[in-house]
Amino acid sequence: MNDVRFHLQEFGLKEQPFAPTADPAYFYATQEHKSCLMRLWTSIDERHGIAVVLGNYGTGKTTLLRKLMTGMAVDPEKYNTAVIGLPIPSWTSFSLLEAIVKGFGLQPEKRSFATYMEELNNYLIINRHRINTLVIDDAQNLNKRGQLELLRLAQNLETPQHKLLNLVLFSQLEWARVLEAAPNFQQRINMTYTLTPLSPEEVRNFIQFRLGQAGATGENAPQFQDEAISIIHRYSGGNPRVIVTLCRNSLLFALQTKNPVIDRQVVLNTIDKTTLPTASKVAAARGQGITPPAPKSTPSSQATSVTDLNPSDAATAIAMAGPTETEQTESIEEEIAAFNDLVRRPAPEPAPPRLMPNTNESKANQMLLNAVRNKQR
């Protein structure tokens, strides 16, 4: 038997409550997630066309997608769905069209853009009694104008009552800039929802919900103390993926010590041992500002390095290794100001064009110049 699974059972758990996969059974619906799902279902069922969900890495977009897919799979007669899980940025518009056609199970005889589009349109018309939906995860990879134009064309087919194809697009926040640069597509978006981080109370409920789903009951069940949860929230910034990772590693530490109580020290130790030593996050977890100690004095000819400083922990090591975030921001602002000053500076008057004289004119001018010089002598 797997040792970890055996120890999980000692804590009354039937499985790992903080697995790294987006299992719909462990989906904790915050008020924001519920609102987003409600709007997505409305957009899909009413066949309003394009819906976009934006959020940073780890905010639960893929989990929402799987929750949506689970719901549509219950009624295949009503919902006809194709999914593109990870579009490739280098795709041409035809490559994207191929992925869409393949997602709906179509196999056109002739490999051409016109044939594929006609096949897709005919398919949507034949299935107009069903709700046809194309779901795309990591849509930020679709950053070319041709790709967005293809999605617009694919979604453009409609009846007087509704669209024949829904688009549900899950993306990182930076995709908003791409959409702004494509107004022809952006204006057709029916609904955009932006996911935000979890609050401290939501982090608490999130952890308890996952433990409950894994069967945590009784005195031996893992117990995350209030201060530990507070540190988890500060370090993660309310990001569900980071919360899950930190809780999983903290739980493994508790399993090793056979102590179900996960307190402040367990979480801090987990941060120090199992995460990248990012100064700002470590300091945030400890509830402290970053005030690195003065480095040891070194000869002027010897450069100061991180190894020379002998820091006491990861936070001070990173803070001492380079400029602070404030200094970097000021440097960037100075560069921007210098650039703007250069842009505002009036451009110099262009030099008059130099025309190449013909050969005879050049010889005549030279003879005249020589005659003037001889006369002056």
Segment among 81-95, 274-288, 332-346, 362-376 with least mean pLDDT: 332-346
Share of the chain above pLDDT 90, in %: 57
- Residue 217: pLDDT band (50, 70, 90) is confident
Segment among 41-55, 57-71, 303-317 with least mean pLDDT: 303-317
b/e per residue 228-262 (b: at least 16 CB within 10 A): bbbbbbbbbebbbbbbbbbbbbbbbbbbeeeebeb
Please give the single-letter amino acid code of residue 33. H
What CATH number does the domain located at 31-194 have? 3.40.50.300
Q: How is the chain split into domains, by residue range?
A: 3-19+199-286, 31-194
- Residue 282: pLDDT band (50, 70, 90) is low
Judged against a pLDDT cut of 90, whether residue 300 lies above it is answered with no
Please give the single-letter amino acid code of residue 283. A
pLDDT value for 160: 85
pLDDT value for 284: 63
Find all residues with CB under 8 Å of 121, minimum gap 6, and list them.
157
pTM for this prediction: 0.68
Cβ atoms < 10 Å from Cβ of 57 = 10
Average pLDDT over residues 298-303: 37
- Residue 218: pLDDT band (50, 70, 90) is confident
Q: To the nearest whole number, what is the mean pLDDT of the chain?
A: 79
Task: Evaluate whether 210 touches 245 at the Cβ level (below 8 Å).
Answer: no
Residue 261 has φ and ψ, to the nearest 5°, of: -85, 120
Average pLDDT over residues 227-241: 94
Rounded Cα gap, residues 35 and 194, in angstroms: 11
